[in-house]
């Protein structure tokens, strides 16, 4: 299993921080008419950036609702999106929700349309009015987050936690390693050096592909961290999680001293 169902996001390692201006469950609509759930939190920090959160394969799990609050407390508006509006609707789901069949029915184009709607919400008055908007994704969402850099939606940067950069099979045309040459914005990639699903050489290949394309990037690998280190129990991998938080906050709030 890539995660712990009871895990909660680690607190950002910052002094002071910002205030939470509000949180709410919302339903957004993509350009193709798909309606999907999201959870949004606003910060009281003036001129704050926005962060569109792409969860792991579970979709809008409580971990990611909590993560929007963590971002707001650290000075960024944040909205976490769900992937399954087309196949599971927008109604409530219990802990036994079987997400795997729904994951298999998602497509990169569908995810991109839903991300675009989430980004538009963050730019709206209701979402905080962010001018600079980033994506951050985890595992399944990490790969999708990286690849939003090819979309023409004006992102300030993309962040991926342990998103698979390599091809899954020979006909996998969505691999970040292949699409890196078309990326339009800076990239922050955070990987576990003990992640058996993502060999170190593949992380290195991703960095090399970005460098070859002239894409600004920070690709970080934590030697002893496993896959999904950030969404396990906070105490298990605190050093890696704290450093990852610092890098994420510095990436989305450049010059803030985070």
**The pLDDT value given to residue 15:** 42
Q: Which two tokens stand for residue 96?
A: 């036994």
**The pLDDT value given to residue 236:** 73
Phi, psi of 106 (to 5 degrees): -80, 155
Contact (CB, 8 A) for 78 and 64: no
Helix residue ranges per DSSP H, 60-136: 62-73, 85-88, 100-103, 108-123
Residue 157's beta-bridge partner residues?
134
**The pLDDT value given to residue 254:** 85
**The pLDDT value given to residue 211:** 98
Contact (CB, 8 A) for 19 and 73: yes
Which parts of the chain have pLDDT scores under 50? 1, 15-16
Q: Going edge to edge, which strands form the sheet with 50-54?
A: 20-29, 35-43, 77-81, 50-54, 133-138, 157-161, 187-192, 217-222
**The pLDDT value given to residue 96:** 86
HSE-CB of 164 using CA atoms within 13 angstroms? 14
Residue 203's beta-bridge partner residues?
none
Contact (CB, 8 A) for 169 and 147: no
Domains and CATH numbers, the chain: 20-252 (3.40.50.1820)
Q: What does the pLDDT look like over 21-38, one tens digit per residue?
A: 999 999 999 999 999 999
* Confidence (pTM): 0.93
**The pLDDT value given to residue 135:** 98
Q: Are strands 35-43 and 77-81 parallel, antiparallel or unpaired?
A: antiparallel
């Amino acid at each position: 299993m890539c995660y712990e169902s009871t895990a909660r996001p680690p607190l950002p390692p910052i002094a002071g921080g910002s205030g939470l201006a509000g949180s709410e469950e919302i339903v957004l609509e993509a350009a193709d008419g798909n309606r999907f759930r999201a959870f949004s939190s606003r910060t009281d920090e003036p001129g704050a950036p926005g962060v569109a959160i792409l969860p792991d394969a579970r979709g809008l799990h409580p971990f990611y609702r909590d993560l929007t609050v963590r971002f707001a407390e650290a000075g960024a508006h944040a909205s976490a999106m769900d992937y399954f509006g087309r196949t599971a609707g927008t109604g409530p789901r219990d802990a036994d929700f079987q997400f795997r069949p729904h994951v298999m029915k998602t497509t990169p184009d569908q995810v991109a349309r839903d991300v675009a709607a989430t980004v538009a919400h963050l730019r709206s008055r209701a979402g905080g009015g962010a001018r600079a908007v980033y994506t951050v994704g985890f595992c399944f969402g990490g790969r999708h987050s990286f690849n939003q850099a090819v979309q023409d939606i004006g992102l300030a940067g993309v962040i991926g936690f342990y998103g698979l950069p390599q091809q899954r099979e020979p006909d996998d045309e969505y691999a970040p390693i292949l699409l890196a040459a078309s990326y339009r914005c800076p990239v922050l990639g955070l990987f576990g050096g003990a992640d058996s699903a993502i060999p170190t050489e593949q992380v290195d290949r991703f960095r090399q592909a970005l460098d070859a394309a002239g894409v600004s990037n920070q690709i970080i690998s934590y030697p002893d961290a496993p896959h999904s280190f950030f969404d396990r129990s906070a105490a298990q991998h605190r050093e890696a999680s704290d450093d990852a938080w610092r890098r994420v906050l510095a990436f989305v709030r450049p010059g803030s001293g985070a």
